[in-house]
């Protein structure tokens, strides 16, 4: 009986150990499953929070602050003119036989513009030539006779006078024949033609208007206070609303030393480098005379500026947060403004979406170049897990 009791206790002890081991194993598995489920939930919540933050972020477009050259200008409105513009008139009378040059044609000095009928002029020329040659031969005979004392001094002087008269008539006839061909007095562009074939013209008939190509100018009238600021050969920039996207170089060509007491201005003539490629006389232009240049200025687009009363601001993107920066402005042109504020080169500046933006607002950049992340533009997008990028 005692042996049976001992054996029963041993069996019970072995069964209890297996149950305990099984219980212990099940408990570990349950714990591991619970931990995995918790991690999945946390990841889902984080993704959801990230998505919500991105949905709440304000979409903006940016441009990086860059370094470049910018200048200070005196700005004026003017019209394009030409230094040399002439009206072409004939020097003889007659009928227009042929028109060679038309409006808009470029001509070189000496090119034929039109011709006048010259039949009578050719006859007069031949007549004068024959008479001159006869008088020249006759004078030589009389000169030989004079040397031999066969004619008097008076007869010799008479023959010499007749020869000079014949020479002058011959020269005049030759000149009139040459004037039957109207030529360009200098190289330029025909701006207007006033006659037709068959029209009778005289010395007072206006034939053409001709302008010189390389002498296009714009005259501006500068307030007298800038008399010491403007100097010859200063650079100028010329633009026109009629030629969008085009900029033309110029320079200060002449400065009038007199200030008009009525207007308080002095005249400055600006030369233009275009040679009639795009600019035309009479075209309205905007003339900017460069008075100073900063070669290594920090430049930001003018469209980025936000105005608050008399103050100017820009918004920079730092860690996906819009930071409002007061702008101390320097020189400016039509597209950029110099930032004297402490803005580093490469700083992302908001150029679209900044109006009404609050300082510290979360933003989302929508104009990143393809294949480029925000990190390349100096925008830190790392999430630290507490909702702040």
Write down the CATH number for the domain with range 118-179. Answer: 1.10.287.470
Residues 80 and 250: beta-carbon distance below 8 Å: no
Q: What is the pLDDT of residue 37?
A: 54
Bridge partners for 364 per DSSP: 59
Residues 334 and 303: beta-carbon distance below 8 Å: no
Beta strands in 154-302 (DSSP E): 181-183, 188-193, 200-201, 208-212, 216-223, 235-239, 248-255, 265-272, 284-301
Q: Which two tokens stand for residue 201?
A: 């013209």
Please give the Cα distance from 165 to 179 (Å, whole number).
Answer: 21
**CA nearest to 361, candidates 59, 21, 50:** 59
Helix intervals (H) in the chain? 2-56, 119-147, 153-178
H/E run at residue 80 = strand 66-82
The phi and psi torsions of 335 (rounded to 5 degrees) equal -120, -30
Domain with residues 74-83+212-294, CATH architecture: Beta Barrel (2.40)
The phi and psi torsions of 147 (rounded to 5 degrees) equal -65, -25
- Quote the crossing angle between the two packed helices 119-147 and 153-178, to the nearest 10°: 160
Residues 365 and 317: beta-carbon distance below 8 Å: yes
3-state secondary structure of 389: coil
Question: Domain 86-116+181-211's class?
Answer: mainly beta
Q: Which two tokens stand for residue 27?
A: 């408990």
Bridge partners for 199 per DSSP: none
Q: What is the DSSP string of 1-52?
A: -HHHHHHHHHHHHHHHHHHHHHHHHHHHHHHHHHHHHHHHHHHHHHHHHHHH
3-state secondary structure of 129: helix
Task: Give Cα separations from 102 to 112, 113, 283 (angstroms).
Answer: 11, 8, 21
Task: Give Cα separations from 384 to 46, 58, 389 (angstroms).
Answer: 11, 20, 6
**CA nearest to 251, candidates 229, 232, 267:** 232
- Count CA atoms within 13 Å of residue 344 on its CB side: 7
User: Where along the chain do the CATH 1.10.287.470 domains lie?
Assistant: 118-179
Q: What is the pLDDT of residue 43?
A: 55
Furthest-apart CA pair in the chain: how many Å? Answer: 198
- The length of the chain in residues reads 389
Mean pLDDT by 10 residues, the chain (389 residues): 41 44 45 50 54 71 92 93 91 94 93 94 94 93 90 91 94 94 93 94 94 88 94 93 92 95 96 84 93 91 90 91 92 88 89 89 81 50 38
User: Where along the chain do the CATH 2.40.30.170 domains lie?
Assistant: 74-83+212-294
User: Where along the chain do the CATH 2.40.420.20 domains lie?
Assistant: 58-68+297-377
Q: What is the pLDDT of residue 151?
A: 87
Domain with residues 58-68+297-377, CATH architecture: Beta Barrel (2.40)
The alpha carbon torsion through 337, 338, 340, 345 (nearest 10 deg) reads 110
Bridge partners for 271 per DSSP: 217, 251
Q: Which two tokens stand for residue 291?
A: 């008075």
What is the b/e burial string over 111-134, where b = at least 16 CB atoms within 10 angstroms of the residue's CB?
A: eebbbbebeebeebbeebeebbee
Residues 237 and 249: beta-carbon distance below 8 Å: yes
Please give the Cα distance from 320 to 304 (Å, whole number).
Answer: 17
Q: What is the pLDDT of residue 267?
A: 97
């Amino acid at each position: 009986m005692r042996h049976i009791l001992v054996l029963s206790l041993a069996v019970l002890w072995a069964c209890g150990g297996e149950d305990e081991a099984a219980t212990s194993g099940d408990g570990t598995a349950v714990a591991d499953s619970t931990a995995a489920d918790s991690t999945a939930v946390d990841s889902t919540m984080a993704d959801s929070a990230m998505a919500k933050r991105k949905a709440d972020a304000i979409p903006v477009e940016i441009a990086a602050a860059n370094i470049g050259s910018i200048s200070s200008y005196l700005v004026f409105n003017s019209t394009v003119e030409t230094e040399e513009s002439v009206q072409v008139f004939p020097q003889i009378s007659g009928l227009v036989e042929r028109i060679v040059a038309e409006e808009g044609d470029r001509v070189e000095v000496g090119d034929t513009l039109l011709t006048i009928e010259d039949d009578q002029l050719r006859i007069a020329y031949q007549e004068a030539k024959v008479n001159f040659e006869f008088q020249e031969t006759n004078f030589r005979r009389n000169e030989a006779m004079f040397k031999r004392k066969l004619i008097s001094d008076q007869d010799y002087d008479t023959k010499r006078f007749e020869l000079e008269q014949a020479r002058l008539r011959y020269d005049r006839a030759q000149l009139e024949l040459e004037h039957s061909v109207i030529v360009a007095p200098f190289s330029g562009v025909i701006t207007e033609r006033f006659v037709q074939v068959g029209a009778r013209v005289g010395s007072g008939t206006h034939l053409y208007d001709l302008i010189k190509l390389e002498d296009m100018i714009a005259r501006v009238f500068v307030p007298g206070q800038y008399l010491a600021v403007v100097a010859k050969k200063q650079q100028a920039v010329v633009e026109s609303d009629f030629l969008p996207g085009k900029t033309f170089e110029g320079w200060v060509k002449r400065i009038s030393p007199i200030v008009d007491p009525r207007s308080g201005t002095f005249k400055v003539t600006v030369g233009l480098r275009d040679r009639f490629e795009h600019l035309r006389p009479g075209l309205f232009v905007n003339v900017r005379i460069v008075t100073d240049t900063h070669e290594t200025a920090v430049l930001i687009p003018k469209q980025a500026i936000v105005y608050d009363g008399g103050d100017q601001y820009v918004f920079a993107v730092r860690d996906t947060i819009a930071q409002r920066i007061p702008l101390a402005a320097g020189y400016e042109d039509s597209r950029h403004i110099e930032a004297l504020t402490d803005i580093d080169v490469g700083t992302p500046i908001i150029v679209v979406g900044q109006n009404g933006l609050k300082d510290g607002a979360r933003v989302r950049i929508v104009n990143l170049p393809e294949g480029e992340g925000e990190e390349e533009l100096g925008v830190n997008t790392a999430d630290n897990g507490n909702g702040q990028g």
